[in-house]
Each structure stands twice: as C-alpha cells, then as structure tokens.
Structure 1
Amino acid sequence: MKFVYTLPDWEGSATDSSVFRDAVYRPNGLRVPTGQYYLCDAGYMNCEGFLTPYRSVRYHLDEWAEGNRSPQNAKEYYNMMPSKARNVIERTWGVMKWRWTVLRSPTFYNIKTQNKIIFVCALLHNFIRAYSNHICRLDSFLTNV
C-alpha cells in the first residue's frame, strides 16, 4: 500500500468526519483524480469521489467470520471492499510502527515535530515500497565489494 495523502495535524481522539472535512476543504487538500474514487469506512461522509459502506448492512470482516463467510447480496459484497481496504491500511500502520520505534512509544517531541515525523515516515514507507528491489541489490553489491 502507498500513502497518497497524509494529514497528521489531528489528535487521535478526533472524529473521522472532522478530519475528513478538514482534509477535503483545506487549501491544497485531499483531491480525488477525475474518474477515480476513494473507499472510505463508515465514519466518513458519502460524497463525490468518496464511497462509503451501506448502513445497516454487514460491514466489518469479523461479521463474515460468524456463520456464512461470503456476502449474501450486492450490498454486502460492496461493503466488503472498504472493509478489506481498511484491513490493509491497519496492517500498513502496523508495519510502520514495527519499522520505526518512534511511532510505537510515547514521545517527548512537541506536536509540530510529531506531525513531521509521521509525514516523513509515510514518505519513507512509499520510497521503500517503490525502490526496495534496488535497495536490496545495492546492499548486495556493497557487501561483495
């Protein structure tokens, strides 16, 4: 997974809808490329370019673990897509916390520095995803020199 937009300015207790509104309406904010969509979880508003799950329909992956595991209709199938994407996002944050200790322990940095750390970690994550094969080959080359 690659980060396409990072907004670390909010505290963890902020509601999804507040953060989303800020991201969309701020200058140089989150924009959806023409003809594309972002899958959002149920905490976000359904608006142009952003697709949220149907309400009152099975949504979380663990709801499919009980009983019949497969979607029973088109709405359940649709709801499974953002749920799977959410799972990928949570795993990606797990990888970032594993990779960079600064993300998994209490910090003494001021909030401005904390925001920069999160932003840089997302950039480094994207860089590693894009160039990991080249980095591995360079490591191998340097070891054999």
Structure 2
Amino acid sequence: MSETSFVKLLAMVGPLITKQDTAMRRAITAEQRLTATLRFLATGRALQDLKYSAGISAASLCGIIPETCEAIVAALSEEYIKCPQTPEQWLEIAEEFGRLWNFPNCGGAMDGKHVRIVQPAASGSFFYNYENFFSIIFLALVNANYEFVFVGVGRNGRVSDGGVFANSQFAHMLRSNSLSLPNNDVTHANLNFVFVADEAFPLTSHILKPYPQRLLNRERQIFNYRLARARRVVENAFGIMANRFRVLHTPINLMPHKVDKVVLACCVLHNFLRMNDSNSYSPPAMLDTENLESFEVIPGEWHASGVAMTSLQRQQHVGRPSADAVLCRQQYCHFFNGPGAVELQNAIVHEQAS
C-alpha cells in the first residue's frame, strides 16, 4: 500500500475509530489502530507477537482489530464492493467479461473457500469440515478485473458444501428473481445471463458449470475451456488476496463473528488496492497468464506461497438439473462451437487431445 492510499484509507476510516482521551490516559490514535490492524491482516501474526511491534497490549488488540475491520467495511464497502442493482450495471460487467475473456453475458465468476479458525470454546464439531480442520465458509462473486462484487461469509465449515450455496443470500436472491438480471432480449445472441462456477455449484438456468470429464466430446471440451478461462478470475482474486493478507493462511484465533469482520475487511481492502494501487498490490506477474504459442497457462506469482485456501468440495448434486438448466448449457456449448468460436480454442483443444 502506498503512502497516498494509506492516507486516503485513514481519512475514510479514521472518524469511525477515533476515541476520546480521558483524564486517566490518552486514547490510542486512529492511525495506530489502523496500522496495527493492517499489520495483523498482512502477516497473520498472533496478538501476543503483534503487541511488540504495535506497542499495544494483546488484550486491547483483541478488541481494536475487529472494530477497525468493521469500520473498514462500513466506510469502504458502498464504494468498493458494488453488487449491481440494475440490468444495465450487470451488462457493464458482462461487457468486460466478453472483451477480456471472450465469455458473453457473464455477470461474474463464483467460488467458495474455507477460512481456517481456531476451534471456538464449547463448539464441538460445529465448525469441523471435510478436510479435518475448523473453518467458516466464504463465498464470493468476482468480476472480470479480479474484484469482488458480492461476498457472503459466516456459515460454519461443517455444513455440507453442496448446501452452502443453496442456503446463501446470493442463491436466495437468484431464486426469487431479485437480482435484476438482464432479459434475453438484450443479451448477446439472446442467451441467458449467467454466472460461471465449478463442480461445487449446481447447474441452473443462470449458473454454468463444466461438463463432467466422462461425458466429454470435442464440443464440450471447447465449452469447458471457455468456461475455465472465465473462471480463472475468481481463482486469481482469491490467490492474490490470500497472498497479500496472510491472515487467511493461518487459523484465525478470534470468535467466529469477529472472523467474519476480518474476512470482509480483506475483501474490501483487496478491491480498494486493486483500484488505487494495482501495480504494487497485484502487478501483472502476480496473475496467471496464457502462453499463446505453447497453449500453456503460466502460473502467477501468487502460487509461489505454496499454501492455498481450501476450496469447497466438488461433488455431484442431489437430483437432476432442470431442463432449462441443461438447455442453457447446451446453447452456450453450441454458441462457442459456432458463431461465438475464437481461433485460440481449437488449437488448445487439439493440444490437450494430443
């Protein structure tokens, strides 16, 4: 973070975390509070360790950090995490997906991760997940520029991953048609407006996921390639954020409702820095790129940490997808193999087959 961005952030957050001096002692300043919180998010260091560099007791930090994270979310989320409210705003996101990733009518790429926590007292196995550690679940929708558009965090890790999305706020809004998605008469090729996801999510008329490997033919391989290419933005967004905010690599030793605030603050700060300090926060070398001669994906520098956030479990969902969902995926498959084909896809599928 540049000094300019820090000053801007302090100006926005400072009024919410400034405390009054008392007759007994001087209050910890807003700058000290923000600096200690950013250091905690960036390093994931234990509070007992952080107290020496911050000059603030561990007991005080336990209250200051969640409070400052909450203030960051309150001060920045309206400007820096904007879920579209109108069809026109969704179409703006889709235009960027089409221009940057050759995927039309796409409102974002979805994914979910497990955020490690220290087992809360008297919680039993409530937060114990399939990978045998304690966690809360973090769902996100990302636009074509690696920025978070919608974030949901807080469900316990024990919940089956298949039910995580079904019970999320985003899924409820999608089912109730309250997302104000564009109608087919204004979309490219009159196809459904969609979101791209992996096998952890259900196939619906607005959510596209890959064809299973056992059912692949050449056309479906091309569809899977085009979808995977669009989905790469969410994998990179999670990777960049976890690389910069190392607290996401460690079991967070706070109460779950405070962990929620920490994760949301990381998302807001990620967008803030992508928009204000992109070259230093996430330079091009940090992102995955494509070698157009060898058809290989070149991993970005965020992979070098060797520690990735655990993804939701990929699984077969109970029940068959609806006929509308199957038709939607078929229509996109035909489009990518017909009028929506791009030159690169045929070479890549040929390379994969050989």
Q: Which residue of 1 aligns with 2:197?
A: 40
Structure 2 unmatched runs, 5+: 1-145, 184-192, 282-354
Give the letter aligned to residue 227 of structure 2.
P
Question: Counterparts of 2:151 and 2:196 in 1: how far apart (Å)?
Answer: 16
Structure 1-normalised TM-score? 0.67
Q: Which residue of 2 aligns with 1:54?
A: 211
Give deviations 1:8-65, integer Å, cap 9, x for gaps: 112445444312111212699x947325311011121111221111224588xxxxxx
Instruction: Give the counterpart of 2:222 among 77, 92, 104.
Output: 77
Equivalence for 1:25: 172
Aligned residue for 1:91, secondary structure, equals helix
Q: Which has the higher strand share?
A: 2
Q: Deviations over 1:80-134 (max 9, x none)?
A: 2333344432332222122112211122111111111111111111121122269
AA in 1 matched with 2:259: Q
Aligned-pair Cα RMSD in Å: 3.3
In the alignment, the residues of structure 2 paired with residue 32 and residue 13 of structure 1 have an alpha-carbon distance, to the nearest angstrom, of 32
| Secondary structure of 2:233 counterpart | helix
Of the two, which has the highest radius of gyration?
2
Structure-2 separation of matches of 1:127 and 1:80: 31
- Report if aligned partners of 1:41, 1:53 keep a CA contact under 8 Å in 2: yes
Which TM-score applies when normalising by structure 2?
0.30
Instruction: Spell out the pairing of 1:1-145 with structure 2 (5 A cutoff).
Output: 1-12=146-157, 14-23=159-168, 24-25=171-172, 31=179, 33-35=181-183, 36-57=193-214, 73-132=218-277
- How many Å separate the matches in 1 of 2:180 and 2:220? 24
Identity across the alignment (%): 23
CA 1:101–1:82: 2 relative to 1, 3 Å: same
Query: Structure 2: how far apart are the matches of 1:105 and 1:95?
Result: 16
Alpha-carbon distance in structure 2 between the residues aligned to 1:100 and 1:55: 34
Q: In 1, are the aligned partners of 2:173 and 2:179 still within 8 Å (CA)?
A: no
Higher relative contact order, structure no. (Cα contacts within 8 Å, ≥ 6 residues apart)? 1
**Equivalent pairs, count:** 124
Which stretch shows the higher mean deviation, 90-99 or 119-128? 90-99
- Partner SS state of residue 119, structure 1: helix
Report if aligned partners of 2:197, 2:207 keep a CA contact under 8 Å in 1: yes
Q: Which runs of 5+ in 1 are unaligned?
A: 60-71, 137-145
